[in-house]
Amino acid sequence: MRNPIYSIDDARKRAGRRVPKLMFDYIDGAAGEESAAANNTQRYRDIRLLPRSFNDINQRDLSTSLMGHKYKLPFGIAPMGMCALSWHGADRLLAEAAVHREIPIGVSTAASASLEDMAQWANDNAWFQLYVGPSVDEAMKLVERAKTAGYKTLILTVDAQKVARRARDIRNGFQAPLKIGPRQFFDLALHPEWSLTTLIKGKPELANFSNDPNDASFTRTATRGLLDEEFLKRLRKAWPGQLVIKGICTVDNALHAVEHGADAVYLSNHGGRQLDSAVAPIDQLPHVRDALPSHIPIMIDSGVRSGDSIVKALAKGADFVFLGRPFLYAIGANGARGLDQVFDILEDEISTVMAQVGCASIAELDERIIFRD
Ligand SMILES: Cc1cc2nc3c(=O)[nH]c(=O)nc-3n(C[C@H](O)[C@H](O)[C@H](O)COP(=O)(O)O)c2cc1C
């Protein structure tokens, strides 16, 4: 096979060649100088593990339980808007992968497939992710739609009060809905496979909303900040299922989330796409774990690029890990096959690292495998 994928970085590089720059930079880019995005991954690298021998590690079990469900792997697919920018049909590929791999997938408010379609394709693996835009009533309509579609878990994202300045997008003239001027046209012409597929099959759209340009119920750059106590009460009353609050980076916010009815806390700095100076969630994880009651699960994302990093997050107290960009790199690099390869790489890396640190199950991953100076 030409250009095989041996690592997430291979997938990223290959996607960078196959996907138009306008789209690739939207996926790959981050806020400001992109220092939070770089730091997120670096802080995983800075953690050193302790190789440990003499334990029976011949049979290793990567499954884990989370909020009453058993998942085959300890990681899932983070909610991402406009996944079809990586390639036409990406949302469905992700939904099917979630079913096949028996893991959860976050379905974004800004998804490029409707929440109803995603629920059909991913069944109980689909968790609906809510953004609260300028209108709380519109947000509550989405909540009702999610209920009707059969979702059991809702992720409320709280870290996008104000969408960040992302230099690459501004430079490239990225807009949603997409606007194609001469520069963008040239970029598309240089990537004919992506462009022809998209031309034939349809351009990426915000599938949860009408395509009427006058419909402002959700716009990418509008403030998403109406998350006061009254709203949290209203949401908790309206949503009978599990409520996960995503985008938490501080102990205070984690406690606030739980006090207001969150069943789980999801540590994230949005993959460095919001606050460029944001602390890496992995650095806050031990503090949040210490502060929260032990029955409250903690999920984490941002900067995870290997099975090794997944093991580190679990050992530092996370109950579950999510990844975002790696799955879009995979699809951009090589469609369904690329996605399969990236899942295989992550699974193999987790299993191998577990063997090397002397753990046969996810429950055994704890502070004992982390090097302390
Ligand atoms: C292209 C893209 C779109 C995203 N859209 C959303 C979204 O709609 N809702 C949300 O809660 N997070 C969104 N995120 C953030 C992810 O859920 C996740 O927090 C982040 O990607 C994790 O970092 P990582 O990409 O370094 O793994 C998006 C991320 C990317 C890369």
Q: What share of the chain is helix, strand, coil (3-state, %, to 5)?
A: 45, 10, 40
Indicate yes or no: pTM above 0.95.
yes
In the block, tokens 């079913």 appear at 99
Structure token digits, residue 55:
């334990």
* Residue 325 CB less than 6 A away from ligand 1: yes
**What pLDDT, on a 0 to 100 scale, did the predictor assign at position 225?**
60
Catalytic residue flag (residue 270):
yes
202: left (phi over 0), alpha (psi -120 to 50) or beta: left
Residues 238/246, Cβ–Cβ less than 8 Å: no
Residue 69 parent element (H or E)? strand 69-71
| Ranges of the chain with pLDDT below 70 | 1-3, 211-225
> In the prediction, which pLDDT does 259 show?
97
- Pocket flag, ligand 1, residue 81 (CB < 6 Å): yes
* Three-state DSSP state, 126: strand
Say what the pLDDT of residue 213 is.
60
Instruction: With CA atoms as reference, report the closest residue to 24 among 200, 246, 181, 184.
Output: 184
- Could you give the domains of the chain? 8-362 (3.20.20.70)
Q: Summarize pLDDT for 18-42 with one digit per residue, the tens.
A: 999 999 999 999 999 999 999 999 9
Query: How far away, in angstroms, is 270 Cα from ligand 1 center?
Result: 5
- What is the DSSP secondary-structure string of 156-219? EE-S-SSPPP-HHHHHHT--SS----HHHHHHHHT-HHHHHHHHHH-----TTS---TT--S--
Q: How far is the CA of 166 from the centre of ligand 1 (A)?
A: 14
State pLDDT tens for residues 112-149: 999 999 999 999 999 999 999 888 999 999 999 999 99
**């690029």: which residue's tokens?**
305
